């Protein structure tokens, strides 16, 4: 193998960046001290894009590639895979070998460009940040014009968007779910329990809940946040329905994990999620942010067990056919084997 080490870069997004303007605003609103603390303390929160980076590294290591994670800030973002120990940029530095690889997120597109010599890959996981995370002078440039060698994405929707906006090639390496972790268990499923992730548009969740509880008495909303992979998988198994409240999304993991775990998905697809959230077949999907429609769909489902079970069965069939971990292994191996073949001795 001619490839060196493949480094996935975890962006420095877990600590508030100090802004004098924001500080003055916080001071006027009476929480200036809280703002200062947020600038000096890491927020150890779940971030789906970071989870995917760790998942790639884990799989690449299993496939025999040399792969590591580099934290670009003080916190490595790892609440998912404790067996993977992240390196820190302070210890590694920016001088790498010509055959090493750095993989960066579209959310922090300049991270990889700080490295000298290495092969640079842009891994886009959200369509909303493709341009607005670039400096104004760079927003008309493609990622290759910016300095990247290859562009990959986690969904066909993002790949199509990059092709349309930048007219550049992009390889889709779709997200996948470990079916050994996310699986159904009907004996513990709690009927009419609706699971929510409050980090995803909490105000929309509150609006939907308010409407539903006015119409349906036999419903329980439960919230999960900050759980490790085992914990969130168990929460999905216990839930009857998952309220997908995230948008915009490239190819959201939570509704996919919910389907693997046997929960029926109702809510928003964030555009990218429509690959597997097929309205009326695998989920009940509303336009992003349309809380009225989402609440109406949830109300109708809570009173229709036949429809609920039909959606549950079809959804699991679809995700199991297209998004198993073995599928991701195959896609990663194909991409990096091809990259290895392009490197000269």
Quote the CA–CA distance of 55 and 46 in Å, as a whole number.
14
Domain 6-176+325-342 has CATH 1.10.8: no
Q: What CATH code would you report for 186-322?
A: 3.40.50.2000
Taking the complete model, does pTM exceed 0.85, yes or no? yes
- Structural element, H or E, at residue 92: helix 89-92
Say if 6-176+325-342 and 186-322 have the same CATH topology. Answer: yes
Give percent above pLDDT 90 in the chain. 79
| Per-residue tokens: 172 | 């889709």
Q: What is the mean pLDDT of the chain?
A: 91
Lowest mean pLDDT among 123-127, 130-134, 208-212: 130-134
User: Given a cut of 90, is residue 212 above it in pLDDT?
Assistant: yes
Model pLDDT for residues 67-111, shown as the tens digit of each residue: 999 999 887 878 778 889 999 999 999 999 999 999 999 999 999
User: Given a cut of 70, is residue 161 above it in pLDDT?
Assistant: yes
Bond into 248 cis (ω within 30): yes
Asked whether the beta carbons of 4 and 100 are under 8 A apart, the reply is yes
Domain boundaries, the chain: 6-176+325-342, 186-322
Q: Kindly report the CA angle at 101 between 71 and 53, in degrees rounded to 5?
A: 45
- Mapped onto helix, strand or coil, the DSSP state of residue 102 is strand
Side by side, the strands of the sheet bearing 150-153 are 87-88, 67-71, 6-10, 101-105, 119-124, 150-153, 171-172
């Amino acid at each position: 193998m001619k490839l060196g080490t493949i480094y996935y870069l975890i962006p420095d997004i877990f600590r508030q960046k100090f802004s004098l303007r924001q500080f003055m605003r916080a001071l006027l609103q009476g929480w200036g001290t809280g703002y200062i603390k947020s600038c000096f303390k890491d927020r150890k929160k779940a971030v789906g894009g970071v989870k995917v980076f760790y998942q790639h590294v884990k799989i690449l290591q299993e496939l025999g590639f040399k792969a590591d994670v580099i934290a670009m800030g003080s916190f490595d973002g790892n609440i998912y895979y404790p067996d993977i120990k992240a390196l820190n940029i302070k210890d590694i530095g920016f001088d790498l070998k010509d055959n090493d690889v750095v993989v960066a997120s579209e959310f922090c597109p300049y991270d990889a460009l700080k490295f000298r010599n290495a092969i640079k890959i842009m891994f886009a996981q959200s369509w909303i940040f493709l341009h607005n995370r670039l400096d104004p002078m760079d927003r008309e440039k493609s990622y290759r014009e910016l300095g990247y060698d290859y562009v990959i994405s986690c969904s066909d929707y993002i790949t199509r968007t990059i092709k349309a906006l930048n007219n550049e090639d992009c390889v889709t390496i779709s997200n996948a779910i470990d079916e050994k972790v996310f699986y159904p268990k009907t004996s513990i499923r709690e009927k009419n329990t609706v699971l929510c992730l409050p980090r995803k548009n909490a105000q929309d969740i509150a609006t939907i809940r308010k409407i539903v509880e006015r119409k349906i008495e036999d419903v329980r909303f439960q919230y999960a946040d900050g759980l490790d992979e085992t914990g969130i998988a168990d929460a999905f198994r216990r839930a009857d329905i998952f309220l997908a409240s995230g948008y915009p999304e490239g190819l959201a993991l939570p509704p996919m994990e919910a389907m693997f775990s046997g929960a029926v998905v109702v809510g928003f697809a964030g555009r990218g999620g429509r690959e597997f959230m097929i309205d009326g077949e695998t989920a009940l999907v509303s336009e992003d942010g349309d809380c009225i429609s989402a609440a109406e769909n949830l109300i109708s489902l809570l009173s229709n067990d036949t429809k609920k079970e039909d959606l549950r069965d079809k959804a699991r069939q679809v995700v199991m056919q297209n998004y198993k971990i073995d599928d991701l292994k195959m896609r990663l191996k194909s991409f990096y084997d091809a990259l290895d073949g392009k490197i000269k001795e």
